[in-house]
Structures are given as structure tokens and as C-alpha cells.
Amino acid sequence: MIKSLLVSLALTLIIETAVALLLGIRGKHDIAVVLLVNIMTNPVVVFTVNCLMLLRDRVLFCAVLAVMEILAFIAEAIAYKKTLNYEKLPPFAVSLICNVTSFGTGIIINAIR
């Protein structure tokens, strides 16, 4: 499970930082915020979801995954609203774009492995 946590966190940091850069987020402070916010939210989501996989209940897994991803999106958006200096897009849009991209990439990676 530790390997899964580390790989997921590393990929999330790479993907969401790349997306942030593509959105025009450039300041050191703002990039640090993107990294720190994901360091706080990703392990909680991945750990919870990995634990649920042990139950082998697909419906429960999908339901909890959806709730956890929504909570992560909201938590990240709030953190961005309070701390980002970037103003080209609203914080909720930044969070949504970053999270949809990293979540979608995760789905694709899991589908092909």
C-alpha cells in the first residue's frame, strides 16, 4: 500500500503542477501552494480508497471514491482561494481543472496496466 501511496502522490504532483503551469501559474509561492495542497489531500484519498478495495465492494468503493474526490476538490479550491496570488482563473476552476486532469490520467493509467 505504501508504494501505491507514493506513486499516486508523485504522479499527482507532476500532473497537477504541469496543469498549473499550463494555466499560467508561475510564482514560486503559488507553485508551492499547489504542491502542498496536493501533499495534504492526495494521501488521504488514496489511503481511504485503498482500504476500501480490501472489502471488494465495487459499489461502496465507487461511492466513497466519488465523495472523497469531491471533498478533495473542495478542500483544494478553498486552500487556493485563501492562498494563491494567481488571478487569471477562479480558484474553484483551477482546482477543478487540475483534479479532473489528474483523476482522468489515473483512470487511464489503471486501465492500461
| pLDDT tens-place string over residues 43-86 | 999 999 889 888 888 899 899 999 999 999 999 999 999 999 99
DSSP state of 13: H
96 vs 113: CA distance, rounded Å: 26
Global pTM value: 0.91
Categorize the per-residue pLDDT at 113 as very low, low, confident or very high, splitting at 50, 70 and 90: confident
Is the pLDDT at 33 greater than 90? The verdict is yes
Angstrom CA distances, 87 to 58, 67, 81, 96, stand at 40, 28, 10, 15
| pLDDT tens-place string over residues 6-32 | 999 999 999 999 999 999 999 999 999
